[in-house]
Amino acid sequence: MTIKQGDPRPVDEQAEKTKDLVQLARLALAGRPQDVQTYVTRMSRKYRKLVPDLGEQLKELLKAAPTRKSPLRSETMAAIPLDRDSKLDLLRVESTGLLDHEPIWQDDIDESLRQIVLEHQQKDALHGRGLGPTRTAIFTGPPGVGKTLAAHWLARELQRPLLTLDLSAVMSSYLGRTGSNVRHVLDYAKGLPCVLLLDELDAIAKRRDDDQELGELKRLVTVLLQEVDDWPEGGLLVAASNHQELLDPAVWRRFEVQIEFGLPIRDAIEQSLMLFVDDPSALDDTWSAALAEVLIGQSFSDIERQIKHLRRRAVLKNCELSDLFPVLIRQNIDNQTKAGKKEIAARLSEAGLSQRFVNELTGISRDTLRKLSNTQQG
């Protein structure tokens, strides 16, 4: 029996050990390694006074463990896993909130994403048929087409926080620990009702037959695949890759849903322009069509960047945004095919611009512009 300082009640050491052992076994059998580590931390502090030798041994075990403390899921504040060398957070945590704007997707992408949400919202119905909601999804496509935005949208619709793996931190200077970092991040996220985004997956899941890569990075792929296989049903793991050709073939088989995000089509570009100009009245149908034509082949982020630059310029020059639309066309016209330039020239002529001005913007001769105009009138 031991009496704690300031507490007149005796403490039964054996009873305390029995209670702690049972709780540890319960956490371990439930597959909650992060919770086990937190509980051992508490035990270490408690037994430093009750049983100093035991408390010291637990303390040493924690020092040798690959992560610092991790919270029990019942606790309000969650300790984000750290890289032991850099002390940087391995995750970026963002609470569910409003998006800057509603996403613009093609119908097939929209349908796939909404089904994921519906599956999680109606998981009981799926369970009744021996099924479960989608646990893992991978988004591929060039940068700036909405992959990360889709992860934010899923988190908002599911009313869960979004956890993003910070690859700059997880790639430890000691490559042998990078696999541990990945495992700790995924183990941590498994215990939380969240959406976990593994951004730029190709950086850590490269093809294992790439002879130029170090053996340690190849082993990292194996760690990643094991963790994805073990992802719990209640959570949602989303991976995004700009370079799907770099992914190990085994990675594809681990993801239940695969969604490819392509560059926006003309209609999607016109919708995005209405969002990015801020004042839709500055963009009539003719300018919208002409700008969409010249911006085909660019990502949403590229288009937004150019429109934002144009808006700043309009403020500084104290002019209307539409006055600068020709500047945007001139900047992008060189990337167009001859047929594309003719289409843009025809739309600009319809807008009432002089043939001389259209010729300066597009390089299409006035004779050609007259023929295009006669063809349209005919």
Angle, CA 372 vertex, CA 355 and CA 280 arms, to 5°? 65
Q: In the block, which residue shows the tokens 């089904």?
A: 115
Percent of the chain whose predicted confidence (pLDDT) is above 90: 26
Across the range 76-97, mean pLDDT stands at: 67
Which of 108-112, 180-184, 283-287, 315-319 has the weakest average pLDDT? Answer: 180-184
Nearest one of 215, 216, 220 to 183, comparing CA atoms: 220
CATH topology of domain 91-260: Rossmann fold (3.40.50)
Q: Which is more confidently placed, 279 or 64? A: 279
pLDDT given for residue 96 in this prediction? 64
Domain residue spans in the chain?
2-64, 91-260, 266-377
Across the range 40-64, mean pLDDT stands at: 77
Distances (CA, A) of 308 to 149, 161, 305, 324, 327: 18, 29, 5, 12, 13
Nearest one of 91, 44, 87, 88 to 190, comparing CA atoms: 91
Across the range 179-203, mean pLDDT stands at: 83
For 8-43, the DSSP string reads: -SEE-HHHHHHHHHHHHHHHHHTT-HHHHHHHHHHH
Across the range 78-103, mean pLDDT stands at: 72
Nearest one of 176, 188, 169 to 67, comparing CA atoms: 188
In this model, does residue 274 exceed pLDDT 50? yes
Across the range 221-228, mean pLDDT stands at: 79
Q: Which is more confidently placed, 152 or 373? A: 152
- Cα 321 from Cα 117, distance rounded (Å): 39
What confidence tier does 284 reach under pLDDT thresholds 50, 70, 90? confident
Nearest one of 271, 301, 308, 309 to 146, comparing CA atoms: 301
Which of 36-50, 199-213, 246-260, 280-294 has the weakest average pLDDT? Answer: 199-213
What confidence tier does 169 reach under pLDDT thresholds 50, 70, 90? low
Paired residues of 94 in beta bridges? 162
pLDDT given for residue 31 in this prediction? 58
pLDDT given for residue 281 in this prediction? 80
SS3 3: strand
> What are the b/e assignments for 178-208, b being 16+ CB within 10 Å?
bbbbbbbbbbbbbbbebbbbbbbbbbbbbbb
Which of 143-152, 299-308, 341-350 has the weakest average pLDDT? Answer: 341-350
Q: Which is more confidently placed, 337 or 75? A: 337
In this model, does residue 7 exceed pLDDT 70? no
Across the range 91-110, mean pLDDT stands at: 81
pLDDT given for residue 147 in this prediction? 93
**Mean pLDDT of the residues in the chain:** 79
Residues 6+ apart with CB under 8 A from 180: 66
pLDDT given for residue 370 in this prediction? 79
In this model, does residue 9 exceed pLDDT 50? no
For 118-169, the DSSP string reads: HHHHTHHHHHTTT-----EEEEESSTTSSHHHHHHHHHHHHT--EEEE-HHH
Q: Which is more confidently placed, 51 or 265? A: 265
Across the range 181-195, mean pLDDT stands at: 83
Nearest one of 179, 133, 139, 187 to 163, comparing CA atoms: 187
Q: Which is more confidently placed, 72 or 37? A: 37
pLDDT given for residue 120 in this prediction? 94
Q: Which is more confidently placed, 3 or 107? A: 107
Residue 87 CB coordination number (10 Å): 9
Which of 4-18, 55-69, 275-289 has the weakest average pLDDT? Answer: 4-18
In this model, does residue 52 exceed pLDDT 60? yes
pTM greater than 0.75:
no
Per mean pLDDT, which of 2-16, 239-253, 267-281 is the most reliable? Answer: 267-281
Q: In the block, which residue shows the tokens 């050609």?
A: 368
Q: In the block, which residue shows the tokens 């463990």?
A: 65
Q: In the block, which residue shows the tokens 């403020």?
A: 315
